[in-house]
Amino acid sequence: MSPHRRVISLAALTGSLLLLASCGSGSSVAGEGPSANDAACDAAAHPEASSTFPVEIDHALGTTTIEQAPERVASIGWGNQDVALALGIAPVGSDDQTWSMTGDEGLGLYDWTLDAYDELCAPEPTVFETADGVDFEAIADAQPEVILAGYSGLTADEYETLSKIAPTVAYPEIPWYTPWREAIEIDSAALGLAAEGDELVADLDQRIAEATADIDSFEGKTAAFFYVTPSDLSVISIYATGDARTAFLGDLGFDFPQLALNVSEKGEFYTDIAAENADIIDDVDVMVLYGDDQVLAEMQDDPLWSTVPAVQNGAVVAVGSGDAFSGSVTPTALSIPWMLDDYVALLDDAASHVE
Amino acid sequence: MIVVAIGGVVLVVIAVAASLAFGSRAVTLGEIAEGLGAWLRSDVAERIGAIAVAERIPRTVLSIVAGAALAVSGAVMQAVTRNPIADPGILGVNTGAALFVVCGIAFLGATTTFDYLGLALVGGALAAVIVYVVGSIGPGGATPIKLALAGAAMTAALSSLVSAVLLPRLAAMNDFRFWQVGGTGGADWEAMAVVAPLLIVAAVVATVCSGGLNALGLGDDVARALGVRVGLTRAVAASAGVVLCAAVTAIAGPIAFVGLMIPHAVRLVVGPDQRAILPLSALGGAALLALADTLGRVIGSPGEVEAGIVTAFLGAPVLVVIARRTRMRAL
């Protein structure tokens, strides 16, 4: 190797080391400790774990043992941080919830999550970037003692790598297919707060019952969650009943249309049908979909979509796209109370259009 | 030549008939008649089967027009770059269009076909101009090999930019992926009316250039000796090819393989005369895309497989067979 080439390869090596070192810096770093001048914050303390450690948790990717009550919690995937926060534990790091954000104002966490940090007087977490997969380096930097991923899409390889950082709890059975109750169940068990998790579920069920107590328009009607692309109305995409978004419509008291049931039976989380076959969804009373107010008008202008009774009647709820509300309808422990009343009102309005 | 042309026309007619009669929904003859009748009276049919047939009309027209334009564009690009396996993507048109569409979705809130149209046209044309300018720098001007290299480099650079803009914006990614697959499901008369004049002008320009392209096929020196203005011919023909491709890409997304495969196959049948290759490619491309779209609707039922995916499926093996069974006809 000539001296000249040696210099080049040295430079290349240094360059790549610098690059490696800077990889983690894309994530914002959490401050140390709660803000001391807030008197109310002194009262905030970790909840006492109800389970006796070690706890063992079976999930789709193996069995995880957590030896002692975790102080530092990391959350990846969707909404798992909300479970911990609802139980009084503020994760030191969390995946960004980009999944339904536009990215215009920077990416990160939704209001209901940040509000909970405020209430617990906890410092805002490190936000792990999800754009190019699991942000292992940032997660390791956060030095978690447990990693919550009860609602996520971890692969076996990712799970193995994460398990070297800290005990990791994956989804119960199917990636990205964890109903919110099960997400609370598995995440709370990992925190040693299984009993508190059950209470949280009961509390949320109570809230849902209260919010829908005076509503009689949902009874005996079907509802499903759809994905509509206004620029190409030749395709109708419908989510299966097990998808968290559709399942929540069931929690509110709706029945499911046959197509959503069929898709679930096949083990898929959504399916596309051609608009030519729009009569397949004739039994849908209320359609929920992403998009703005214009979407319904565009669907009504389309000859095929306009044959669907729900579209004719205007029994359509557009939840927006890329904003907080459209994110909240994929329910989490904290987004449910945040959106419940508004969502029920929108659905009630749509259901009243059903003929 | 005339026999081939008649064969091409017959093929297009069959493709149109198939595209109207078959789809993800099985319809009866009565529904086909009712749908066509209602459409002629600009009325909305009663039965959903008939409505479906009426809705197949705009997408059949789009697939015919898009297939023809892509194939002609491919033929022009192959002649301009003297590269028998060139396609419109070689000048960076597709990725240039994609980058502008992505930026439009991410930063400007573009959602309609109309928005995509303007963005894709500007992006595709801009990319082609840059590639052409870069490829023209240095001695010899815009030689085929320099154009191909500049195009490949540009495509690589632009696709990283597309990813960079798209990755942190999953909501934008959802909109983009529908466009990006390439299909005729979003067919819409208004958008087609906007691109039609562009396509007609570009097709006429390409046809006028076909004699000059024949001369270019003999090599730049010979062409010059024949009195052809090499740089001008290449630039004008390439512009026509870019407009054809970009306009189609705007309304149907990037559809691969039509521009690559059809002119190549046509050249195997009728030889290297561009005056025959261009019109026959138009017929072949129209028939191929209409059939691919129909096939995608039938095999995907009750859903659909986008035409862009079917052409890739059909195109790849055909290309392998062509490459293995015959020596590539040099340009």
pLDDT digits over B252-311, tens only?
888 878 998 899 889 888 888 999 999 999 999 999 999 999 999 999 888 888 888 898
Output the pLDDT for position A10: 42
Residue A15: per-residue pLDDT: 43
Mean pLDDT of A210-233: 91
**pLDDT-based confidence at A5, cuts 50/70/90?**
very low
Interacting residues of A297 by C-beta distance below 8 A, sequence separation 6+: none
- Which band of pLDDT confidence, cut at 50, 70 and 90, is reported for residue A12? very low
In the beta sheet, which residues pair with residue A320? Answer: A291
CB within 8 Å: A231 and B186: yes
Distance CA A348, CA A285 (A): 12
Q: Is the pLDDT of residue A40 over 60?
A: no
For every residue of A246-263, DSSP letters joined together read HHHHHHTT-B--HHHHHH
The length of chain B in residues reads 331
Q: Which residues of A lie closer than 8 Å to B, measured between beta carbons?
A: 98-103, 107, 129, 131-132, 227, 229-235, 271-280, 303-304, 307, 321-322
Question: Percent of chain A at pLDDT above 70?
Answer: 83
Q: Which residue of A has its CA nearest to B116?
A: A231
Does residue A232 register a pLDDT over 90?
no
Residue A291 has pLDDT above 90, yes or no: no
Contact B175 A98 (CB under 8 A): no
Using DSSP's 3-state secondary structure scheme, residue A273 falls into strand
pLDDT of residue A310: 96
A235-239: strand order across its sheet: A270-274, A235-239, A223-227, A286-289, A316-318
- b/e A303-322 (16+ beta carbons within 10 angstroms → b): bbbebbbbbebebbbbbbbb
pLDDT of A39 over the 60 cut? no
Cis preceding-peptide flag for A34 (omega within 30 of 0): no
Q: Taking chain B (331 residues) in consecutive chunks of 10 residues, what is each chunk's mean pLDDT?
A: 91 95 92 92 89 93 95 92 77 86 85 79 88 84 80 90 80 71 78 89 95 88 88 89 88 84 88 93 95 93 87 80 62 55
φ/ψ (deg, to 5) at A72: -105, 120
CA pair distance A166, A74, nearest whole angstrom: 9
Phi/psi at A268 (nearest 5 deg)? -105, 160
A95 Cα to chain B: minimum distance (Å) = 13
- Quote the strand ranges of chain A, DSSP E: 55-59, 62-66, 73-75, 93-95, 126-128, 146-148, 168-169, 223-227, 235-239, 270-274, 286-289, 316-318
Quick one: pLDDT band at residue A102, thresholds 50, 70, 90? low
As a whole number of Å, the end-to-end CA separation of chain B is: 20
Looking at residue A94, its pLDDT comes to 94
- First-to-last alpha carbon distance for chain A, in angstroms, is 82
Find, among B119, B123, B140, B141, the residue nearest to B132 by Cα: B141
SS3 A103: coil
Peptide bond into A54 cis (omega under 30): yes
Residues A53-65 as b/e (b if ≥16 CB within 10 A, e otherwise) read: eebebebebeebe
What are the pLDDT digits (tens) for A324-341? 899 899 999 999 999 999
Main-chain phi, psi angles of B269, to 5 degrees: -85, -50
Which pLDDT score is estimated for B87? 78
The pair of structure tokens assigned to A102 is: 């536009």
Question: What is the token pair recorded at B43?
Answer: 């009325």
Phi and psi, residue A227, nearest 5°: -120, 125
User: Å from A101 to nearest chain B CA?
Assistant: 6
The dihedral through the CA atoms of A85, A87, A88, A89 has a sign that is: negative
For chain B, the residues whose C-beta falls within 8 A of a C-beta of chain A are 23-25, 44-45, 48, 51-52, 54-55, 59, 106, 111-113, 116, 167-172, 174-175, 178-179, 183, 185-186, 297, 300-304
Q: How far is CA B50 from CA A249, A277, B42, B300, in A?
A: 34, 12, 13, 20
Chain A neighbors of B183, CB-CB under 8 A: 232, 234
Of B111, B297, B303, the CB nearest to A271: B303
Give start and end residues of each alpha helix (H) in chain B.
Answer: 2-21, 29-40, 48-81, 93-107, 113-136, 144-166, 170-181, 189-216, 220-225, 230-252, 258-270, 274-300, 307-325
Q: What is the ipTM of this complex?
A: 0.81
Token pair for A67: 């030896």
For residue A298, the chain B residue with the least C-alpha distance is B112
Using an 8 Å Cβ cutoff, are A83 and A112 in contact?
A: no
Average pLDDT, chain A: 85
- Contact between B236 and B205 under an 8 Å Cβ cutoff? The reply is yes
The pLDDT, as a whole number, for residue A20 is 40
- Give the residue carrying structure tokens 């561009």: B274
Mean pLDDT throughout A76-98? 93
With CB atoms and an 8 Å threshold, state whether A304 touches B55. yes
- Say which residue, A252 or A22, is predicted with more confidence: A252
The alpha carbon of residue A88 is apart from the nearest alpha carbon of chain B, in Å, by: 30
How close does chain A come to B238, measured CA to CA in Å?
30
Q: A133 Cβ partners below 8 Å, 6+ apart?
A: A158
Least Cα distance to A275 among A241, A230, A315, A342 occurs for: A230
- On the question of pLDDT at A100 being above 60, the answer is no
Predicted local confidence at residue A104, as pLDDT: 53
The C-alpha of A260 sits at a distance from chain B's nearest C-alpha, in angstroms, of: 14
Return the pLDDT at A271: 93
Mean pLDDT of A271-294: 93
